[in-house]
Amino acid sequence: MESLFGIMLAKSGFLNLTLGQVIMWFIGFTFIYLAIKKDYEPLLLLPIGFAIFAVNLPLTGLMDKDPKGLLYIFYHYGLEWEVIPPLIFLGLGAMTDFGPLIANPKTLLLGAAAQFGVYVSFFGALLLGFNIPEACSIGIIGGADGPTTIYTTVHLAPHLLGATAISAYSYMSLVPIIQPPVMKLLTTEKERKITMRQLRPVSRLEKILFPMGVCLISCLIVPAAAPLMVMFMIGNLFRESGVVKRLSDAAQNELMNIVTIFLGISVGATMSAEKFLRPQSLLVFALGLVAFIFSTAGGVLFAKFMNLFLKEKINPLIGSAGVSAVPMAARVSQKLGAEADPKNFLLMHAMGPNVAGVIGTLMAAGFFISLAAH
């Protein structure tokens, strides 16, 4: 009996548990806490957090390649095969209203300017010793776009997936905390009180032509962005055409919910202790924060620069919405504008650069993938 007990104990997880795995449990529990208690990106942080906990249970084989573990199957077919991120963009496209951007095309420039942090972090990563594919994967965090970060990292530096994905979604969830101090530092109270006139109505024809036009131009300029851009724009065409409501609803709801579950589980599954608990991961987190701060600053400062030449001034607060955290960044712009002037309503104006930021981040990702391929 003692011998049998010894064999059972040796094959249990208790004698094979490491300190690193326990640390990862606490990281996973932290994500679960933030999702449930603080309501920070719960649709993603909850499955990510539990997957982190599960993948660090010893001897479970959940991420074994041979024989294939359950979580490895999700990761392999969903992320390595690059299926999940494009499907996420199909749903995002169906949920996106490009009306504010079409009504005020100048805000496209703010979305481009808010990619500044992407390139700051890219060069910072190179200076810290990361190679070009790794630096590209780290830099894209500054776009505050989780699916694009995942797609770029899987394509270029899959060994960094856990660190880059967690950084991107962590900073996305912390938009209301990170952005306001930067926005207030770079603007005066007078600038925050700038009132913008109501946007013009946008016709149905404009909304139908827009996704096709953007898809055509962007894919001709950066072909490597096509997988995400095409799915993003076809989802939007579902929405705006008005003739495939069932497809649009399915993309926004059932499909988006299912794919989000698999995305969270697959990302969390990459965060085993031996892969994640490295100094390199801390550098990725630090560079991701730098990227996010500089992206916010880039949008605000470029709006101030545009005001030097515009008769109708832009409230610089909407420049910070040029990051891809839709619609959270736009809500932050609205909140700070209302604090300066309760009658100021900036939300729809901020949605222009907000959705432009998604396009800008996709273009940046395509450029990085092309760069690293050569």
Asked whether the beta carbons of 356 and 108 are under 8 A apart, the reply is yes
DSSP of 94-157 = HH---HHHHH-TTHHHHHHHTTHHHHHHHHHHHHTT--HHHHHHHHGGGG--HHHHHHHHHHH-
Query: For residue 46, what are the contacts with CB-CB under 8 A and spacing of at least 6?
Result: 31, 32, 35, 36, 264
Residue 67 has pLDDT above 90, yes or no: no
Query: For residue 363, what are the contacts with CB-CB under 8 A and spacing of at least 6?
Result: 218, 221, 222, 225
pLDDT at 8: 67
Residue 1 has pLDDT above 60, yes or no: no
pLDDT at 193: 95
- Could you tell me the pLDDT band of residue 173, with boundaries at 50, 70 and 90? confident
Tens-digit pLDDT profile for residues 240-257: 999 999 999 999 999 999
Tens-digit pLDDT profile for residues 304-345: 999 999 999 999 999 999 998 888 899 999 999 999 999 999
Tens-digit pLDDT profile for residues 44-62: 899 999 999 999 999 899 9
Residue 172 has pLDDT above 70, yes or no: yes
Single pTM value for the model? 0.92
**Which single residue is written with the structure tokens 């801390």?**
282
Residue 2 has pLDDT above 60, yes or no: no
Higher pLDDT, residue 236 or 326 = 236
Residue 119 has pLDDT above 80, yes or no: yes
Query: For residue 274, what are the contacts with CB-CB under 8 A and spacing of at least 6?
Result: 20
Mean pLDDT of 81-96: 95
Residue 77 has pLDDT above 70, yes or no: yes
pLDDT at 365: 95
- Could you tell me the pLDDT band of residue 171, with boundaries at 50, 70 and 90? confident
Q: How far is residue 224 from each of residues 211, 221, 363, measured CA to CA in Å?
A: 17, 9, 9
Asked whether the beta carbons of 41 and 31 are under 8 A apart, the reply is no
Mean pLDDT of 174-203: 94
- Which residue, among 268, 269, 318, has the nearest Cα to 101 in the 3D structure? 318
3-state secondary structure of 68: strand
**One-letter identity of residue 171:** Y
pLDDT at 3: 66
Mean pLDDT of 190-209: 95
Residue 294 has pLDDT above 80, yes or no: yes
